[in-house]
Amino acid sequence: MIHVVLFGKASKIVPRSGARNGDIIITTGAFGYTSSALQILLKKKKSTKKFSNIAKTKFFHPIPRLKFGIACKNLLSSSIDSSDGLSSCLHELSTSSKKRFIITKFPVKDDVRDFVAMNKLDLKDIILNGGEEFELVCTVPAKNLEKVKRNAKKLKIDLYEIGIVTRGKHVILENETGQSMIIDGGWLHFQ
């Protein structure tokens, strides 16, 4: 086992508990690639060579969004990195902030959708429960969204608006078929 601990000093830390009603929920990139890479590597799922290379690169060489986090530290209301899976991150932010998170769309690209369809996998599971993406999952007050988008564009980061924060509890998926709960299916430590 290898364990790494880093110590540092921060002028401002964006808490997990800062989400407010009306905040927009964003991610700094698409999800599903690391889950797909594991499906290709461990379960021998079929894939195009191009997609396989993209997924494996994102799995073996993640790019933490440190510069984005620093550039937006005064614009975000809450934030977490996605090492344990998107569903776990959303639940952590929702619980810490004592707010309901309504997810209206997934941060996913068409190539992940194609891979999932080709292999008859569950898109929700691939997107929500993979982990190790190292993207940021954040909430942003609506008044700061344009500034956050400009910072992302400057840093060549694809920003995904995936939902909104409201009064209440839980993480809810809302789409054309109605609402359903999103279960925390990511990596749960000590369980």
Give the tens place of pLDDT for each residue, 25-73.
Answer: 999 999 999 999 999 999 999 999 999 999 999 999 999 999 999 999 9
The pLDDT score that the predictor gives to residue 191 is: 54
What does the pLDDT average to over 159-165? 98
CATH number of 24-181: 3.90.650.10
pLDDT digits (tens, 9 = 90+) for 104-160: 999 999 999 999 999 999 999 999 998 889 999 999 999 999 999 999 999 999 999
List of residues 6+ apart from 30 with CB closer than 8 A:
107, 108, 109, 112, 158, 160
pLDDT given for residue 135 in this prediction: 97
For residues 39 and 119, is the Cβ–Cβ distance under 8 A? yes
pLDDT value at residue 187: 65
Q: What is the rounded CA–CA span in Å between residue 106 and residue 31? A: 8
Beta strand residue intervals within 35-175, DSSP E: 78-81, 100-103, 136-140, 160-166, 171-175
Q: How far apart are CA 121 and CA 50, in angstroms?
A: 19
- CA 107/CA 89 separation, integer angstroms: 14
What is the crossing angle of helices 110-118 and 49-60, to 10°?
Answer: 110
Residues in CB range of 69: below 8 A, 6 or more apart: 14, 79, 136
* Phi and psi at residue 108, to the nearest 5°: -140, 150
Strand order across the 136-140 sheet: 78-81, 136-140, 24-27, 160-166, 100-103, 171-175, 178-181
Q: Give the helix, strand, coil percentages of the chain, each rounded to 5.
A: 35, 15, 45
**Distances from the Cα of 145 to the Cα of 7, 14, 16, 70, 85, angstroms:** 30, 16, 18, 16, 24
pLDDT (0 to 100) of residue 9: 78
pLDDT of residue 23 exceeding 90, the answer is: yes
Q: How far is it, in rounded angstroms, from Cα 174 to Cα 185?
A: 18
